[in-house]
Structure 1
Amino acid sequence: MHFFDDHKKLFRTALALFVGLTIMVAILPAIHNQENNAPLPGYKPLTEAEYLGKKCFIANGCVACHTQQVRNVDMDKVWGSRPGIAADYAANTRTDLWRNTATLMGTERTGPDLTNIGKRQPGIAWHLLHLYQPRAVVEKSIMPAYPWLFEIKKDVGINEMEVIVPPAFRQAINGKIVATKEAIDLVAYLQSLQQTPLPDDKEPKEFLYKKKETPLAANGNQGNLPDGQALYKQNCASCHQDNGEGLKGAFPSLKGSPVVLGNNLELYVNIIMQGYDPRPEFAAMPAVGTNNNLTPEEITAIINHEKTSWGNNAQTVMPQAVKKIMDDIKTTTKQ
């Protein structure tokens, strides 16, 4: 009983038990995990700009509203091509001795998951406009604006980037809205967020509770096509909007568009697969079809949706014709 009366012995014993359990329960398993986990072979380390962008991401509290984890449930399939695995985070290291922030997996999805945002939305113009004024691209967005990441200048420098903002959101601004280096770095980090493909001999896990996909039957001999409206919302609506009217001064309208209503299918498919930068008053369009690995059937469904929506009444196209153009594009690219 003398042991319990000696406060020094009690303290030392409790401290020894605490340290011992910490080593056994936390430190040794962590070391084991570090030794047995490695990044996937195709992993690309962050560049200096992307790393600075990550620090900006942390400093502005983005992790409070955005996760970076694709869970193994079907509802998360829109955020990534496969569920997340330990190897996706194996290359992350501590920020410094005092701060961990190795992974930015987050705990809440007030905004969408960003695991694969670099593929879902690769265009720098969209990201910059979204940071400057989120409601310019997503009408009901509750994300705060980050105007301090931009400057108002009379002229745009050689290595500077102007943000094309619709007139409705320019207010009384007299000058050009220019992205700071901090904003460019942040966008570089967002563009780097792409799921690394698994090695060829590895099959990704299927999402649990998978919903049965029911393709929409098309008229004529087009065969069964996916849901063009759903594909449009997933791949195109963030810029061209759900109503197809785009954003004046930023992204062109598809309603009444000569490309959509015209008969030049080769131009149409080329725009989707390789991007488009025809006019200075609009931001450049990224290669959505290539970046998102869209199939001929999916692109056909998107084209037909655009040709027959928002008052458009153009002739629909066949998946066989789209596939032929896509094959020609691949052949030309390889040469």
Structure 2
Amino acid sequence: MEIYNNHKRLFIVATVMFLALTLYAALIPAYRAQEDNAPLPNSKPLTEQELAGKAVYVKEGCIACHTQQVRNVDMDKVWGERPSIASDYARNKRTDFWRNTANLLGSERTGPDLTEIGKRQPSKEWNLIHLFNPRSVVGQSVMPAYPWLFEIKESAAAADVIVQVPEEYRKGITGDIVATEDALNLVAYLQSLKQVSLPDGRPVPKFLYPKEATPALAGMPAAESGGLDGASLYAANCQSCHQANGEGLPGAFPSLKGSSIVLDPDPTALITVIMKGYNGRAKEGFPEMPAIGTNNNLKPEEISAIISHERTSWGNDAKKVSVEEVKAILDQIGK
């Protein structure tokens, strides 16, 4: 063919074909995908502090061990209320012209998925202690510590955020452990990670390959406990702060073992704390407890199983609380 004997014509034809293929195979589909997957109505862009925290997340290599994607398989139910969709990431933008760190989906879960860590663990104090030394709050953690995100001061200033690290993990440190700006920004970013509810009328993706139902709480009839395992629910919602043994962390998180609120024959106060949070022990150095029940959308059956586990474990011997009692109290306190 004559075209192969004319290098200028061949170059022009090849260039035109390349541009046409780029347009139809890359640019147009990308534009359509962007239009079809607009940000969800209730989603919010990251604040300046959260964006700075995202940069720290990237710099410290958190993506190497953590994902931010809930797959549509049943085993991922613990990480989010629904499988992730493209619109969940629609507000993510390039860092700048040269760097594209918009989406941090990850590919390995050495650590837990962080899609909803802002709901699962909204406590700023817990996150700071965890960053300083993960073993101080999760004994089996393999996550590295990040002590360089903190400063040691002989006496903290009024504006400083002091981290109440348990004594056994201070390793001879004297003075106050203070969170740096990078640590506070990183925690702000982590607290921003929350799934947004889909608009009414939009189909919710299903989790595939469901597991068998969890056995009823030991020693309690299935109808009374809602057929749920209180120990597992406690581990998922409460254990990171109050610990597996219920003893909490001295100076950081109060003990549930022997707690007057937990053992009170009337569980109203305990359920109120779970649903609305609590800051009544700030003078003792304990941080405000977030409204775990509301944040995690705990159902009456789940609350019943959790508090029944707390009231009968670690030497506690209070009466278990039925689902009907929980429902009555929720109506009373106004969920």
Point out the more displaced range, 4-13 or 249-258: 4-13
State how 1:1-335 maps to structure 2 within 5 Å: 18-216=18-216, 218-219=220-221, 222=224, 224-277=226-279, 278-279=281-282, 280-330=284-334
Offset of residue 19 of structure 1: 4.8
> How many residue pairs get matched?
331
Distance 1:171 1:295 in 2: 41
Offset of residue 156 of structure 1: 2.8
Taking only the aligned residue pairs, the percentage that are identical comes to 57
Offset of residue 221 of structure 1: 7.6
Partner deviation per Cα, 1:124-147 (whole Å, 9 max, x = no partner):
111111111111111121111111
Distance 1:83 1:238 in 2: 24
Offset of residue 312 of structure 1: 2.0
Question: What is the root-mean-square deviation in Å for CA atoms of aligned residues?
Answer: 2.3
Q: Which runs of 5+ in 1 are unaligned?
A: none
Q: Given the superposition, is the C-alpha separation of residues 133 and 28 from structure 1 closer, same or farther in structure 2, using an over 3 Å criterion?
A: same
Distance 1:131 1:320 in 2: 40
Offset of residue 25 of structure 1: 2.3
Distance 1:142 1:164 in 2: 21
- Are the counterparts in 2 of residues 215 and 224 from structure 1 also a CA contact under 8 Å? no
- Are the counterparts in 1 of residues 216 and 225 from structure 2 also a CA contact under 8 Å? no
- Are the counterparts in 1 of residues 161 and 178 from structure 2 also a CA contact under 8 Å? yes
Amino acid at match of 2:195: Q
Point out the more displaced range, 247-256 or 170-179: 247-256
Distance 2:59 2:5 in 1: 50
Partner deviation per Cα, 1:101-142 (whole Å, 9 max, x = no partner):
111111111111100110111111111111111111111211
- Are the counterparts in 1 of residues 225 and 305 from structure 2 also a CA contact under 8 Å? no
Q: What is the TM-score of this pair, normalised by structure 1?
A: 0.91
Amino acid at match of 2:310: E
Distance 1:105 1:7 in 2: 45
Offset of residue 220 of structure 1: 10
Offset of residue 243 of structure 1: 2.1
Partner deviation per Cα, 1:170-220 (whole Å, 9 max, x = no partner):
112111111112211111111110001111223412200112324516349
- Are the counterparts in 2 of residues 296 and 319 from structure 1 also a CA contact under 8 Å? yes
Offset of residue 7 of structure 1: 7.8
Offset of residue 66 of structure 1: 0.8
Secondary structure in structure 2 of the residue aligned to 1:303: helix
Amino acid at match of 1:163: V
Amino acid at match of 1:307: R
Point out the more displaced range, 13-22 or 204-213: 13-22
Distance 1:79 1:229 in 2: 18
